[in-house]
Amino acid sequence: MNSLPPPVGSTVMHAIDYKVHGAEMQFVEIELDPNEAVVAEAGGMMFMDDGIAMETVFGDGSARSGGFLGSLLGAGKRLLTGESLFMTVFQNQGMGKRRVAFAAPYPGKILPVHLADLGGELIAQKDSFLCAAKGVSVGIAFQKKIGAGFFGGEGFIMQRLTGDGWAFVHAGGTLHERTLSPGEVLRVDTGCIVAFQPTVAYDIQFVGGIKSALFGGEGLFFATLRGPGRVWLQSLPFSRLAGRIYAAAGGGREEGSMLGGLGRVLDGDNS
């Protein structure tokens, strides 16, 4: 199990131990001392030991909710990101150590992030969050530029994870980390972004020529990430995986191309 002691002066973050199992279909096993807890999205739990109690909470499950109004605000933020109004808290109410595990929703990698090492904040795709130590707040992050709002592909509202404890996010396919120097720009398919530090500037740009837009098959827009800061990318966004399955079943056009259906006709594929 991997662990870090709670930061000096911290009173709300639960220090948890964890171990990531598996290669392509991973799950994270979290070890809880008595009274320690972890929060997770509904439906992510794989197994748990006897002595761990489940409680559905209104809002993001943060220990800093601030009563009913705080919980209501947290629930409203989650509603904007398309998530459930509720989260589940798993607390060890036994006398000894207990374990609870959370599974990845599709093939990929689980990324453990200690928020204290990142300045206490991480911006993540809204569907990538898996679970976190109780005390981590799961809020929203609005992209400041209107282009990112309308053409961001995966949505211009992203999740903001704040706190100083462990959080776990999931990336589809292969996970790739880049550290951008000040002013360094990386162009990325919008769906391939998993998370980045708030010091990284995020924007959306048009791909360029009309021929590339219509026939390139990569979509009309891509994301630009400008350093400094760390970014995490995924090789297989769920939207891409679902699109390939749907297209293989004969139900849709090729991903990203406005003329995908016509392309199949020109290729002689009329099925």
Residue 136 within a domain: yes
pLDDT at 82: 54
Higher-pLDDT residue of 190 and 147 is: 190
Residue 11: pLDDT above 80? no
**Total domain count for the chain?**
1
Residue 128: pLDDT above 80? yes
Residue 232 within a domain: yes
Question: How many Cβ atoms from other residues are within 10 Å of residue 240's Cβ?
Answer: 18
For residue 110, what are the domain limits? 17-254
Residue 241 within a domain: yes
| Residue 77: CATH number of its domain | 3.60.160.10
Residue 78: pLDDT above 90? no
Residue 109 within a domain: yes
Residue 24 within a domain: yes
Contact status, residue 39 vs residue 58, Cβ threshold 8 Å: no
Per cent of the chain over pLDDT 70 is: 66
pLDDT at 158: 83
Residue 5: pLDDT above 70? no
CA distance 192 to 185: 15
CA distance 170 to 110: 5
Contact status, residue 108 vs residue 170, Cβ threshold 8 Å: yes
Q: pTM for the whole thing?
A: 0.76
Mean pLDDT to the nearest integer, 24-43: 92
Residue 9 within a domain: no
Mean pLDDT to the nearest integer, 68-78: 51
Contact status, residue 154 vs residue 215, Cβ threshold 8 Å: no
Question: How many Cβ atoms from other residues are within 10 Å of residue 5's Cβ?
Answer: 7
Residue 268 within a domain: no
